[in-house]
């Protein structure tokens, strides 16, 4: 770095030179300090502090922590209320939240005081080793790669000429190897029907919405009555992971369950109210029921926090040890659609995936189904 010179034969001793321009005779005005430092980075930091104390504007002298403050605003993390046109947000709310978590928990504690231009591949390697040593699982390679990717994106943004927060783009480094994402586990149609048969009507309707709608857990628990259009037979989702509106047509089965369920909530009893509906009616009498929710908690009347309860109860009745979780119904929705011959683009749109590569992972179980079909049809033919 200009203005920092290590003395020959004296490791760790540097001359720090700061130029303050020229006097009226054209002679350069300089201040020189000789100091010992434990690292070159410390010498750079001393020069930056010296320049700032002398009132000199410093280009490219921002630390990672300094840059994060401005980058956080750039991606949309610090928007202030204003009557003017809303500024462009460069990341979705979900991505912003994840970047905030990663930077605050991992990146800033390690890289925060460093200058981006001095981050080498050796420093990245040391960070990777540190993060790997922090877990006994040893399966966080992909997470660490994502953390470095976030850091890289920020520094490359900072290095743009119009930003001028650092001089160089992010250093080349070697990402950690990791296993590709495993094929999601799914349930067969018979397994799903057996599980749902053991549930109350209230919970069965909820899980049919997960399965026939391909919804995520949060999308179901936060589903509002206004999201369901029974006349048009579709669900319109706006509170999604990627903040993209998604339209889900209702199957005949899901339509029938939702029609009955919504009528039950409105007090029009098409079937005999069970224990869970009576709990909701009791909450309504106490003004503790969120009337906008399709599946409010039978305990609090607010957003449902525990929908695994219904699965645990059904599994106990079925006496099975198979691990089943709510998201498995969404996986099954995708897999069964592809098994039925639906095109990948349609499945992608129904699932709300931003990248079709995420949807392609469901083609693997579908391929096995086709292989089994061919094997069953031709195994006895001997190729005749």
Can you give the pLDDT at residue 57? 60
Query: Please, are residues 256 and 281 in contact by the beta-carbon 8 Å criterion?
Result: no
Coil/strand/helix, residue 233 = coil
**211 assigned to some structural domain:** yes
327 is catalytic: yes
Structure tokens of 317? Answer: 């009745």
Asked whether residue 285 is assigned to any structural domain, the reply reads yes
Q: What whole-number distance in Å separates Cα of residue 85 and Cα of residue 82? A: 8
Partners of 28 in the beta sheet? 22
pLDDT (0 to 100) of residue 61:
63
The 8-class DSSP code of residue 183 comes to P
- The pLDDT value recorded for residue 242 is 65
227 and 337 part of one domain: yes
Separation CA 279–CA 302 (nearest Å): 13
Q: Tell the residue number behind the tokens 């909450």, with chain if given.
A: 283
Alpha-helical segments (H) within the chain: 40-53, 64-75, 93-102, 108-111, 121-133, 141-158, 189-197, 201-213, 217-221, 252-265, 275-285, 308-318, 327-339, 344-351, 356-360, 363-378
Give the model's pLDDT for residue 83.
Answer: 43
Residue 184 belongs to some domain of the structure: no
CA 127 to centroid of chain Cα atoms: 22
Q: Which of 35, 142, 224, 241 is catalytic?
A: 241
Residues 111 and 14 in one domain: no
The reply to whether 233 and 367 lie within a common domain is yes
Cβ count near 22 (within 10 Å)? 10
pLDDT digits (tens, 9 = 90+) for 82-131: 444 445 566 778 888 899 999 999 999 999 888 898 898 889 999 999 99
What's the confidence (pLDDT) of residue 339?
85
Among 179, 205, 224, the domain boundary falls at: 179
Which two tokens mark 331? 């996986």
Q: Tell me, what CATH number does 360's domain have?
A: 1.10.443.10
Task: Determine the pLDDT at residue 4.
Answer: 80
pLDDT in tens, 226-254: 999 999 999 998 877 766 789 999 999 99
Q: What is the pLDDT of residue 63?
A: 87
Residue 288 confidence (pLDDT): 95
Clarify whether residues 21 and 127 are in a common domain: no
Q: What is the pLDDT of residues 212-223, one digit of tens each?
A: 999 999 999 999
Q: Let me know if 216 is a catalytic residue.
A: yes
Q: Per the domain annotation, does 381 fall within a domain?
A: no
| C-alpha–C-alpha distance, residues 156 and 171, integer Å | 10
Query: Are residues 193 and 173 part of one domain?
Result: no
Q: Are residues 120 and 197 in the same domain?
A: no
When pLDDT is cut at 50, 70 and 90, the band that residue 51 belongs to is: confident
State whether 133 and 164 are in the same domain.
Answer: yes
Tell whether the model's pLDDT for residue 305 goes beyond 90: no
Q: Is there a domain that residue 380 lies in?
A: no
Question: What would the mean pLDDT of 176-205 be, rounded to a whole number?
Answer: 85
Predicted confidence at residue 380, as pLDDT, reads 58
Last residue of a domain, one of 179, 199, 216: 179
Looking at residue 80, its pLDDT comes to 43
Give the per-residue pLDDT at 30: 87
In a domain, 349, yes or no: yes
Question: Annotated catalytic residue: which of 173, 207, 208, 362?
Answer: 362
Domain boundary pick from 128, 151, 179: 179
For residues 326-344, average pLDDT: 90
Is pLDDT of 354 > 80? Answer: no
pLDDT at 336: 92
Number of domains in the chain: 3
Question: Do 342 and 199 sit in the same domain of this protein?
Answer: yes
More confident: 81 or 371: 371
Tokens 């089943």 belong to residue: 324
SS3 of 375, please?
helix
DSSP tag of 249: E
From 216, 246, 279, 331, active-site residue: 216
Do 317 and 194 fall within a single domain? Answer: yes
Instruction: Average the pLDDT over each of 24-28, 288-292, 353-357, 363-367 and give the range with the smallest value.
Output: 363-367
CATH of the domain at 114: 1.10.150
State which of 236-245, 252-261, 332-341 shows the largest mean pLDDT: 252-261
Q: What is the pLDDT of residues 147-183, one digit of tens each?
A: 999 999 999 999 998 888 888 899 888 888 766 666 7
C-alpha separations of 60 from 16, 31, 170, 371 in Å: 17, 20, 13, 58
Rounded mean pLDDT of the chain? 85
Rounded Cα distance, 118 and 112, in Å: 12
Q: Are residues 143 and 215 in the same domain?
A: no
Instruction: Please count the residues of the chain.
Output: 384
Establish if 383 belongs to a structural domain: no
Which residue is it, tokens 């990717």? 149
In this prediction, residues 76-80 reach a mean pLDDT of: 64
Q: Are 80 and 184 in contact (CB under 8 A)?
A: no
The per-residue pLDDT for 312 is: 87
d(CA 230, CA 142): 42
Place 137 in a pLDDT band, splitting at 50, 70 and 90. Answer: low
Q: Is 362 a catalytic residue?
A: yes
Within a domain: 99 = yes
CA dist 123 and 168 (Å) reads: 16
Mean pLDDT of 302-319: 86
Structure tokens at 63: 């630390």
Residues 253 and 206 in one domain: yes
Q: Domain range holding 134?
A: 60-81+89-179
Q: Which residue has the higher pLDDT, 67 or 118?
A: 67
Q: Specify the pLDDT at position 86.
A: 47
- The pLDDT of residue 85 is 43
pTM: 0.57
Tell me if 216 sits within 8 A of 183, measured CB to CB: no
* Antiparallel, parallel or unpaired: β 13-22 and 234-237: unpaired
Q: Say whether both 337 and 356 belong to one domain.
A: yes
- Catalytic residue among 142, 236, 327, 364, which? 327
Nearest to 164 by CA among 59, 92, 317: 59
Which is catalytic among the residues 203, 246, 330, 336? 330
Q: How confident is the model at residue 24 (pLDDT cuts 50, 70, 90)?
A: confident
């Amino acid at each position: 770095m200009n203005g920092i010179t290590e003395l020959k034969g004296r490791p760790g001793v540097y001359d720090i030179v700061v130029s303050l321009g020229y006097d009226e005779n054209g002679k350069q005005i300089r201040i020189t300090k000789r100091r010992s430092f434990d690292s070159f980075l410390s010498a750079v930091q001393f020069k930056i502090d010296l320049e700032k104390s002398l009132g000199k504007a410093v280009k490219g002298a921002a630390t990672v922590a300094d840059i994060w403050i401005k980058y956080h605003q750039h991606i949309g993390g610090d928007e202030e209320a204003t009557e003017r046109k809303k500024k462009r947000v460069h990341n979705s709310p979900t991505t912003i939240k994840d970047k905030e978590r990663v930077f605050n928990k991992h990146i800033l504690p390690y890289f925060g005081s460093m200058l981006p231009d001095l981050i080498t591949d050796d420093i990245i390697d040391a960070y990777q080793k540190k993060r790997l040593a922090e877990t006994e699982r040893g399966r966080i390679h992909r997470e660490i790669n994502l953390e470095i990717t976030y850091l890289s994106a920020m520094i490359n943004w900072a290095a743009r000429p119009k930003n001028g927060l650092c001089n160089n783009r992010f250093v080349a480094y070697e990402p950690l190897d990791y296993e590709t994402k495993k094929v999601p586990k799914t349930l067969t149609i018979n397994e799903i029907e057996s599980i749902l048969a053991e549930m109350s009507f209230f919970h069965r309707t909820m899980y049919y919405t997960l399965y026939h709608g391909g919804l995520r857990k949060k999308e179901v628990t936060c589903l509002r009555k206004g999201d369901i259009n029974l006349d048009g037979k579709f669900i319109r989702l706006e509170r999604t992971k990627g903040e993209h509106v998604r339209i889900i047509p209702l199957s005949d089965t899901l339509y029938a369950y939702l029609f009955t369920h919504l009528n039950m909530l409105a007090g029009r009893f098409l079937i005999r109210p069970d224990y869970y509906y009576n709990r909701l009616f009791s909450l309504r009498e106490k003004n503790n029921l969120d009337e906008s929710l399709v599946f409010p908690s039978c305990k609090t009347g607010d957003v449902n926090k525990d929908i695994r309860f219904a699965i645990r109860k059904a599994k106990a009745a079925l006496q099975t040890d198979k691990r089943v979780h709510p998201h498995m119904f969404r996986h099954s929705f995708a897999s069964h659609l592809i098994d039925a011959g639906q095109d990948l683009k349609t499945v992608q749109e129904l699932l709300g995936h931003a990248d079709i590569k995420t949807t392609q992972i469901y083609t693997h179980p579908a391929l096995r189904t086709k292989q089994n079909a061919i094997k069953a049809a031709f195994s006895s033919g001997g190729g005749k």
